Amino acid sequence: MQLSLSSKHATVEVTSLSSASSRLSGRLSTQRHTMHSLAIEKSDVSASSLSATHFLRPHLLKLAAYTPIEPFEILSARYGRRPEDIVKLDANENPYGPPPEVREALGKMAFPNVYPDPESRQLRKALAELNDIPMEHLLVGCGADELIDLLMRCVLDSGDKIIDCPPTFTMYAFDADVIDARVVTVPRLDGFKMDIEGVKHAVEVHKPKMVFLTSPNNPDGSMMTDEEIKAILDLPVLVVLDEAYIEFSDVPSKIKWVQQYNNLVVLRTFSKSAALAGLRVGYGSFPLAMVEYIWRAKQPYNVSVAAEVAACAALTNMDYLSTVRNALVCERERLMSKLKEIPFLQPYPSHANFILAKVLEGRDAKALKDGLAQQGIMVRHYAKKELSGYIRISVGKPEHTDALIDKLKSM
């Protein structure tokens, strides 16, 4: 019998247990002494001499911070204006707010002192009925952002790859960077159209695990056709379809497609159409073979009592949600026509609750955004190279459109 015991400091070969036991004991004693000496040497490095960054994963030291949108109270202090005097068109928030049932339900929460249902069963049941899909496919998150992060942590190892198609929602690349995944970029074509052939080539060459699709796309509002989505689903890769703005289009959600495709996840949110951005509620539809393991990895109490109560209450008044949706779509078309009257802006058609506009005539888009902010009107500008010459404008109420256009004409 031959057994080899290997370590960094010694290799011990045992040819006979009876004849070599004493030699083995001596050598192991020597090995323990060597390891003890190394431990002493290592302990000579005092904790006070170490930087706190010593304990972080090295790649995080190079991570670029995400740039979030700031809330009313911060903007109010910065620009010296009352919150109600600020026209906030920078974060695609719903200016009409949620149905009145939401405030009423939040005021009557029975058990805010008790941990929430870890499975969000009441909300998932309501969502299953609304979307005509078994609730076993559905998982609720603290915003769709949490589900993006959760999916990546469940699917990707360090060094694995995703495909990102910029300009698009920047959280995909950001979350990949956080977990030390690699981002393969397939830029969009003219008019922000998806480069389907480019994605196919990237999958063949780079062997990514995930592709992120956004329809309608943020920040331009363009849609993917069913044929384009199916072409990507034919590839050997997990497809994550983000439908955060689908309610503002005339195209049905693909949420039920997960029953047909084992490589599809569809994400939705209450932040936009239901106006619950501040309460953070999103949900995803997953293939049954996958969702069991996603459940195991998610935080047990990720959706608060208040968030589930609010979301369930919002779903009791679909007439209100439909009325607000139609009002925003109508105002989107009006905003588009008004923006076309501004000679230094080129707006792009949108199927979402925002419009992307290219800034022309040699004007600086960042300076235009800052100038509007000084006058109490917030729009979005991106520092990214492909979007540095654009501003994105959320659809607000008619009076918000009027205020924006008045300021633009004065500039």
* Phi and psi, residue 244, nearest 5°: -60, -30
Mind listing the pLDDT tens digit for each residue in 353-393?
999 999 999 999 999 999 999 999 999 999 888 999 999 99
Radius of gyration of the chain (CA): 27
Task: Give the pLDDT score at 119.
Answer: 97
Mind listing the pLDDT tens digit for each residue in 187-225?
999 999 999 999 999 999 999 999 999 999 999 999 999
Give me the domains of the chain, ranges plus CATH numbers.
62-93+319-410 (3.90.1150.10), 100-317 (3.40.640.10)
Please say if the pLDDT value at position 80 is more than 80: yes
Give dist(CA 153, CA 148) in Å, integer. 9
Give dist(CA 193, CA 148) in Å, integer. 23
What separation in angstroms does the CA of 90 have from each of 163, 297, 393, 396? 27, 33, 6, 10
Question: Shortest CA distance to 219 belongs to which of 354, 410, 113, 61?
Answer: 354
The percent of the chain in helix, strand and coil, each rounded to the nearest 5, is 45, 15, 40
pLDDT band at 21 (very low <50, low <70, confident <90, very high): very low
Omega before residue 167 within 30° of 0, cis: yes
Task: Give the pLDDT score at 4.
Answer: 33
Give every CB contact of residue 211 below 8 A, 6+ residues apart in sequence.
Answer: 162, 163, 199, 203, 232, 235, 237, 238, 239, 240
Q: Which DSSP symbol is given to 64?
A: P
Give dist(CA 324, CA 80) in Å, integer. 31
Give dist(CA 248, CA 272) in Å, integer. 9
Mind listing the pLDDT tens digit for each residue in 226-280?
999 999 999 999 999 999 999 999 999 999 999 999 999 999 999 999 999 999 9
Residues in the chain: 411
Helix boundaries (H) for 278-343: 288-297, 305-314, 318-339
Q: What is the mean pLDDT of the chain?
A: 90
Amino acid identity, residue 6? Answer: S
Mind listing the pLDDT tens digit for each residue in 285-297?
999 999 999 999 9
Task: Give the pLDDT score at 69.
Answer: 83
Give dist(CA 268, CA 256) in Å, integer. 12
Question: Shortest CA distance to 174 belongs to which of 148, 198, 200?
Answer: 148
Contact call for residues 398 and 364 (beta carbons, < 8 A): no
